[in-house]
Structure 1
Amino acid sequence: MPRHEFQPGKLVAGLFLAITGALYLGDALGGWEVPWFVAFPLVAGGLCLAGVTGTVTYAVRRRRRSRAVG
């Protein structure tokens, strides 16, 4: 399998989606009760945080690349 760059933005998005899924799985199994609207701030906040993380990662890698070349 070819190696690829680590992308922390995708990790953050996946973590927030997994947390949301786990909350609703617990609700479906009767462990606790989660209101239906909880998913919106979790998913939206996770995607916003993933976007910020991806942007910062891109900026850091671009800066490193420019220092290595120049």
Structure 2
Amino acid sequence: MLLHEFRPGRLVVGVAALALAGAYGGELTGRWSVPWWLVVPVMCGALGVAGLLTWVAYGVRRRSARSRSAESVGAPASSSGSQAMR
């Protein structure tokens, strides 16, 4: 079982941020030249893709939760036990 649910949007933004950090780190060491404005289009693109992926993942999670609740045929928890004896 997974410890937490998979969040693809956060993965995309994290990878983009790490790539930019690596690119500017390479510029710092003098290995290559990276324009200063590169961070704006890369992060805007990553945030747009992350938003789309988060929306899709939410729909998938919602649909799977709906199908799991439809398969439940037992009595609801509120109708059994001492709380039902009023």
Partner of 2:34: 34
2: CA distance, partners of 1:20 / 1:44: 12
Aligned residue pairs total: 69
CA drift of 1:51 comes to: 0.9
- For structure 1, which runs of at least 5 residues remain unmatched after alignment? none
Partner of 2:46: 46
2: CA distance, partners of 1:13 / 1:55: 15
Alpha-carbon displacement from aligned partner over 1:34-69 (angstroms, at most 9, x marks no partner): 111111001111111111111110000101111111
TM-score (structure 1 length as normaliser): 0.91
> What pairs up with 1:3-42 in 2 under 5 angstroms?
3-42=3-42
TM-score (structure 2 length as normaliser): 0.75
- Of structures 1 and 2, the one scoring higher in RCO (CA 8 A, sep 6+) is 1
Identity percentage of aligned residues: 38
The reply to whether residue 68 of structure 1 matches residue 68 of structure 2 is yes
Moved over 3 A (4+): none
Paired letter, 1:37: W
